[in-house]
Structure 1
Amino acid sequence: MAIQTAAKATIYRMVMPDHICPYGLKAVDLLKRNGFEVDDRWLETREETDAFKAKHNIETTPQTFIRGERIGGYDDLRLHLGKRVRDPEATSYRPVVAVFAVAALLALATSWAATGSLLTIAAGEWFIAFSMCTLALLKLQDVESFSTMFLNYDVLARRFVPYSYVYPFGELVAGVLMVAGTFMWLSIPVALFIGSIGAASVFKAVYIDRRELKCACVGGNSNVPLGFVSLTENLMMVGMAVWMLVKPMGVGVGH
């Protein structure tokens, strides 16, 4: 019986004292995980790297060769192997889904630690409050970028620009106070106000004006489309504020 040998690939990548190309590491790992025997050749100086680029008339490394054919960089290798390549311009709800998933896990963990049960009313409250805090954190990483994207659709911010800078701080304060279950006289009106304005703004932009925009809900550099998820975020804040007003005494966050 003939012995099958692994297909061979040669990769040239930058491995210097002050820089190891991360895409080179990814490419080597991808090749090995797909059954290739890898001839890993390092470009250890800037001069060596520039000479390699000039020889092959290319602008970037790493570069992978399979059976003598140049495949290209990391993304080209993924395509060659039938893998998906992320489009940096494509819209995606993944960031929001990640926020809500982590917030839900934190809420369940907190409920378990505090009450010994997972599915409690408090867990639902903590989920919304943790979501608010996390979304505010993402906005606060770059308030300037957030405000720029926010001004594309928020009706109040368009009339009063400083509101676009205040919004993430208001969301954070309301979320933190709701987690703590204190100063409800402040957190409730703040959440009700910014949530109502936000919901109205998203509804107008998406469902009335029919505009295709990106949402600033997870910060000003995201590719999250403005739409149902954005509307849900604001309605959650409104719902939380209303619940805090009408809920039975002794139930929920802080009790």
Structure 2
Amino acid sequence: MNTADRPNRKRATLHRMVMEQHVCPYGLKARDLLRRQGFEVDDRWLTTREATDAFKAEHGVKTTPQVFIDGERIGGYDDLRRHFGKPVADPDATSYRPVVALFGMTLLMALAASYAVHGTPFTVRAVEWFIAFSMAVLALLKLQNIESFSTMFLNYDLLAKRWVPYSYLYPFAEGLAGLLMIAGALTWLSVPVALFIGTVGAISVFKAVYVDRRELKCACVGGSSNVPLGFVSLTENLMMVAMAVWMALGAFGVLPAAAHGM
């Protein structure tokens, strides 16, 4: 069926960059959104830099893609989302989404590992793995940009403020403790490391947030996050402390071997 056979079909015109070495991702998103909204899309490509610059000058815009509906310019991808009443993410807004995604995935990883090893996801070892996996992944996120992490960390960590190298060592210490706890090896090393960094971290966060009432971003998931400092970071540190105490009790025979996976 051609366009003439569908007189009631909604139509939109999309101008987007499609070049040999660059296809604008927002143009693809805009086209997809229009189609999902039931629009017939007149997809017009800007195939050269000269054509793109000429289009921008003609319409007085600074960016592409640009969407037109019924001859009216709607704007770019974010403007199109607003036009359809859909939310537009604010890059500067605080969000707990990175933390929810991280802990949700590490929990599933722990349950999967428990099922693979013990035949059931619901074991005490799964709880231990959940904390240890979380520590390892949190360390990974920090190590992706350790300079950015250390800068944010120095805003509130009491030890790092007195000894700056600690802000660089912290992710390595957290990762080492997490990996050793996953393996159930070298408890004599993983327990004191986790206990030390967890205790210092918990005290630092508690002082910054609940005593000094400072509003800061948390460095727990790396230096580029917009997670507010507070409950999440405090929980991260208390989890490390709890895991260290739990494994120490197991190592000294206070807990039965089956309870701590040793």
Task: State TM-score, norm by structure 1.
Answer: 0.97
Q: Specify the alignment match of 2:98 in structure 1.
A: 95
Q: Give the C-alpha shift of residue 245 in structure 1.
A: 1.1
Q: Secondary structure at the match of 2:258?
A: coil
Partners of 1:253 and 1:145 lie apart in 2 by 36
Amino acid corresponding to residue 250 of structure 1 in structure 2: A
Q: Specify the alignment match of 1:27 in structure 2.
A: 30
Aligned 8 A contact 1:132 1:171 in 2: yes
Partners of 2:163 and 2:7 lie apart in 1 by 70
Amino acid corresponding to residue 243 of structure 2 in structure 1: M
Q: Specify the alignment match of 1:84 in structure 2.
A: 87
Aligned 8 A contact 1:23 1:62 in 2: yes
Pick from 127, 134, 145: which aligns with 1:124?
127
**For residues 60-79 of structure 1, what are the structure 2 equivalents within 5 Å?**
60-79=63-82
Question: Per-residue CA shift, 1:182-213, capped at 9, x if unaligned?
Answer: 00000000000000000001100000000000
Partners of 1:109 and 1:235 lie apart in 2 by 24
Aligned 8 A contact 2:30 2:77 in 1: yes
Task: Describe the shift of the 1:253–1:49 C-alpha distance in structure 2 as closer, same or farther (beyond 3 A).
Answer: farther
1:36 lines up with 2:39 in the alignment? yes
Q: Give the C-alpha shift of residue 7 in structure 1.
A: 1.0
Q: Give the C-alpha shift of residue 246 in structure 1.
A: 1.3
Pick from 205, 210, 215: which aligns with 1:207?
210
Q: Specify the alignment match of 1:140 in structure 2.
A: 143
1:250 lines up with 2:252 in the alignment? no
Q: Give the C-alpha shift of residue 253 in structure 1.
A: 5.7
Partners of 1:203 and 1:13 lie apart in 2 by 50
Q: Secondary structure at the match of 2:197?
A: helix
Aligned 8 A contact 2:246 2:260 in 1: no
Partners of 2:235 and 2:87 lie apart in 1 by 30
Question: Per-residue CA shift, 1:144-170, capped at 9, x if unaligned?
Answer: 000000000000000000000000000
Amino acid corresponding to residue 38 of structure 2 in structure 1: G
Aligned 8 A contact 2:247 2:260 in 1: no
Q: Give the C-alpha shift of residue 251 in structure 1.
A: 2.5
Q: Secondary structure at the match of 1:12?
A: strand
Aligned 8 A contact 2:74 2:83 in 1: yes
Partners of 2:190 and 2:83 lie apart in 1 by 53
Partners of 2:9 and 2:129 lie apart in 1 by 52
User: Deviation above 3 Å: which 4+ runs of structure 1?
Assistant: 252-255
Q: Secondary structure at the match of 1:251?
A: helix
Q: Give the C-alpha shift of residue 254 in structure 1.
A: 4.8
Q: Specify the alignment match of 2:3 in structure 1.
A: none
Aligned 8 A contact 1:8 1:67 in 2: yes
- Percent identical among aligned pairs is 70
Partners of 2:135 and 2:161 lie apart in 1 by 23
Partners of 1:96 and 1:165 lie apart in 2 by 22
Q: Specify the alignment match of 2:163 in structure 1.
A: 160
Amino acid corresponding to residue 48 of structure 1 in structure 2: A
Q: Secondary structure at the match of 2:194?
A: helix
Partners of 2:75 and 2:37 lie apart in 1 by 17
CA RMSD for the aligned pairs? 1.0
Aligned 8 A contact 1:11 1:40 in 2: yes
Q: Give the C-alpha shift of residue 118 in structure 1.
A: 1.1
Aligned 8 A contact 1:178 1:253 in 2: no
Partners of 2:7 and 2:161 lie apart in 1 by 67
Point out where structure 1 has 5 or more consecutive residues left out of the alignment: none
Question: Per-residue CA shift, 1:205-237, capped at 9, x if unaligned?
Answer: 000000000000010011000011110000000
Segment of structure 1 superposing worse, 4-13 or 31-40: 4-13
